[in-house]
Amino acid sequence: MPPALRQLAQGGESPKIDIVAVHGLNPKGKDVKQHAWDTWRKGDGDKGKIWLQEDLPKSLPEARIFLYEYDSRVFSGKHGEFWEAGNKFLDCLQGKRRGDRLRPLILVGHSLGGLLIKQALVNAHDNSHYADIEASVKGLVFFGTPHAGGNTDSAKNKLGLTAANIAKSLGFPANDSIIKVLTPGSLFGDFLRESFRHQLENYWIVSFWEEKSTIVTKESATFGLPGHRETILGLEADHSNMCKFNTEIEDDKDLYDFVENNFYWLYEEAMKEAAIGTRFEELKQTEPINPESESKPEMELS
């Protein structure tokens, strides 16, 4: 199945921001496309509610909102394949943003989907072909993404074990190839961690971690950045359900309010940065006064 972006909200006549949600590892035996939707859907099938489609547009009516569909078997391959998956994500983004390549962008990842976002941003930083995307990304939202926290051997091993535990929770047996790839942390090891570390200060980040049946701990799910760059919040949900909300249910509505408030904060920060950038471009384009063209007072002859 080729990767694709599916639009959930149009953003009105003049969209001001794009929001793109990326799912994580596909449960064993589950249809890839179905998982892309079910990651964010509370309830079964078409009767379920996708808050990105039904609730968030009410708060952010000028936001275009997309789901990214892709074959998450890339998590069981070699790093070269994962690197290529990052480029495919960037290509899909460019294709949907031809009308306004510098529209502010918020990327949202659940679980290992957050690692694909990080890989894509590393690729964009290294390739000028994607410079417009790197410049446009203002905010990142992570739901239970294992970052591992720190560069020690212990942290690296924890990252691999956490990723493998995510796979096990999705039905992959211990002898499955994906478990063998993830456990040592080879795919998400030194290269991705070190490369992305240098970009952290470029974004406003919201990191959510699960408080029930924890697979990805708070330590692993956060970067430990200063409070003005990273907001850290625990959600009273397990790893699979932490990004699923039916706002007609009171408890879900309370959780959603936490999430929505932070999306709105990211939107406001993105708009501030966009306004500063626009003013800067306007100043650059203003024609300087040519001193030679100014009229000079005539000198009196004595």
Residue 301: the pLDDT is: 45
146: nearest Cα among 242, 244, 215: 215
Across the strands, what pairs with 209? 234
Residue 105 tokens, joined: 């962008």
Q: Which range among 105-114, 142-151, 259-268 shows the weakest confidence by mean pLDDT?
A: 142-151
68 located within any domain:
yes
Report d(CA 186, CA 74) in Å as an integer. 13
Q: CB of 69 within 8 A of CB of 92?
A: no
Percentage of the chain modeled with pLDDT above 90: 53
302 located within any domain:
no
Q: CATH no. for residue 278?
A: 3.40.50.1820
Q: What is the mean pLDDT of the chain?
A: 83
298 located within any domain:
no
**pLDDT of 210 over the 50 cut:** yes
Its domain, for residue 81, covers 4-293
**pLDDT of 136 over the 50 cut:** yes
Between β-strands 63-69 and 4-9, what pairing exists: parallel, antiparallel or unpaired?
A: antiparallel
Report d(CA 293, CA 15) in Å as an integer. 42
Q: CB of 207 within 8 A of CB of 232?
A: yes
Model confidence over 179-191: pLDDT tens digits?
555 555 555 555 6
Amino acid at residue number 207: S
154 located within any domain:
yes
Q: What is the pTM of this model?
A: 0.84
220 located within any domain:
yes
**pLDDT of 278 over the 60 cut:** no
Residue 247: the pLDDT is: 95
160 located within any domain:
yes
301 located within any domain:
no
Total of domains in the chain: 1
Q: How confident is the model at residue 295 (pLDDT cuts 50, 70, 90)?
A: very low
**Count of Cβ atoms closer than 10 Å to residue 19 Cβ:** 25
**pLDDT of 203 over the 80 cut:** yes
Residue 266 tokens, joined: 């990211």
Higher pLDDT residue, 72 or 262? 262
68 sits in which H/E element:
strand 63-69
Higher pLDDT residue, 7 or 284? 7
34 located within any domain:
yes
Model confidence over 85-99: pLDDT tens digits?
999 999 999 999 998
Model confidence over 229-255: pLDDT tens digits?
899 999 999 999 999 999 999 999 999
